[in-house]
């Protein structure tokens, strides 16, 4: 039995020196220490040997078992350290570093996020509507019936089923009143589409931000106060504005709120069409018929609405002199933001 143990010891020591991979460690362990391993078979024979030999044989077998287990641990640690070292050496430190590509927000998105934060601080909800809208919400519910001359003002992309790509974010006014009732404070940022010739200040796809406030005894004073606070927060200073009469069927009275062109500082350029002013905030008090379409009693409730030209505001904020740059996808332009 002692000779058998010595033979196993020499054989194991020789095989331990040949282990080069982690997978070989498990194979070796099973061969000698597993349930059917060489050393395990010897230990099972202890019951068959003389009593006086059992202590010596048992001690030698246990010592051999501990030696093998310790050697396997050392080999595993060595192979682990070697693997980490190999991973380090595989990195060629002489190669140039790779540039990490980091995306950025589009200027439209930057300004929209700022506006949403401003209006949330004033207690307004931020809502979204569909890009494809029905004739009712696009026009009829806004006091623009089929035979109304105001329809001629809309260069609309019509679909074959009678729906249309929304030409203005005002399309969400009646939807919002139907769902939330009154009192109500909400803004609707979104993309708009109009079939028109493009130039430095007009594009077929652009962004607006509609605002709606419904409550009791709302007046023009409330409208002007909110508009001034909005522009002051966006530009970080007081902005020169002018208010002039306008016509929008869904508000009465209606106004055009213009800001002094910040591209040319009011001197005249292609963006302001040499006028020194940029139309940015059509607004007014909500027409009683629109309140009725929204399910509200105009004798009880009143409100104001405005349609902020979000894309034009972006142009004023960043000094962009051509609206077509914003939808161009030109990375040379977009990387500036």
Q: CA-to-CA distance for 168 and 196, rounded, in angstroms?
A: 14
Write out the two tokens for 46.
Answer: 């202890």
Residues 6+ apart with CB under 8 A from 174: 136, 137, 141, 142, 290, 293, 294
Using the structure block, give the residue that is written with the tokens 């300004």: 111
Alpha helices by DSSP H, listed for the chain, are 2-16, 22-33, 38-44, 54-89, 107-121, 135-138, 173-180, 220-235, 288-293, 310-318, 331-334
Backbone φ, ψ for residue 89 (5° rounding): -70, -20
Q: Is 94 helix (H, G, I), strand (E, B) or coil?
A: coil
Backbone φ, ψ for residue 203 (5° rounding): -145, 150
Q: Cβ(256)–Cβ(245) under 8 Å?
A: yes
252 labelled ligand-binding: yes
226 CB-contact burial (10 Å; exposed 0-12 / middle 13-18 / buried 19+): buried
Annotated binding site: 252
Annotated binding site for Mg(2+): 252
């Amino acid at each position: 039995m002692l000779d058998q143990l010595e033979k196993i010891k020499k054989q194991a020591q020789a095989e331990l020196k040949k282990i080069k991979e982690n997978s070989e460690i498990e194979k070796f362990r099973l061969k000698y220490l597993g349930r059917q391993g060489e050393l395990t078979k010897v230990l099972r024979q202890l019951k068959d040997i003389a009593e006086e030999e059992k202590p010596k044989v048992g001690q030698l077998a246990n010592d051999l078992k501990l030696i093998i287990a310790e050697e396997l641990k050392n080999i595993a640690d060595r192979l682990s350290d070697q693997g980490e070292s190999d991973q380090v050496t595989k990195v060629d430190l002489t190669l140039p570093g790779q540039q990490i590509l980091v995306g950025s927000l589009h200027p439209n998105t930057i300004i929209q996020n700022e506006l949403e934060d401003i209006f949330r601080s004033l207690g307004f909800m931020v809502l979204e509507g569909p890009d494809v809208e029905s004739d009712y919400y696009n026009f009829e519910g806004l006091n623009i019936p089929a035979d109304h001359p105001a329809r001629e003002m809309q260069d609309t992309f019509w679909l074959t089923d009678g729906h249309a790509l929304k030409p203005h974010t005002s399309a969400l006014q009646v939807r919002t009143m139907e769902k939330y009732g009154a009192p109500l404070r909400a803004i609707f940022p979104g993309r708009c589409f109009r079939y028109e010739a493009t130039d430095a200040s007009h594009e077929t796809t652009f962004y607006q931000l509609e605002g709606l406030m419904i409550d009791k005894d709302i007046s023009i004073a409330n409208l002007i106060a909110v508009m001034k606070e909005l522009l002051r927060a966006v530009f970080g200073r007081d902005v020169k504005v002018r208010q002039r009469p306008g016509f929008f069927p869904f508000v009465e009275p209606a106004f055009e709120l213009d800001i002094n062109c910040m591209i040319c500082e009011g001197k005249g350029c292609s963006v302001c069409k040499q006028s020194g002013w940029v139309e940015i905030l059509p607004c007014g008090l909500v027409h009683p018929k629109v309140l009725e379409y929204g399910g509200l009693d105009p004798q009880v409730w009143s409100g104001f609405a405005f349609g902020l030209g979000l894309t034009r505001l972006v142009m004023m904020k960043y000094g962009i002199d051509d609206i077509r740059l914003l939808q161009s996808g030109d990375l040379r332009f977009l990387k500036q933001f």
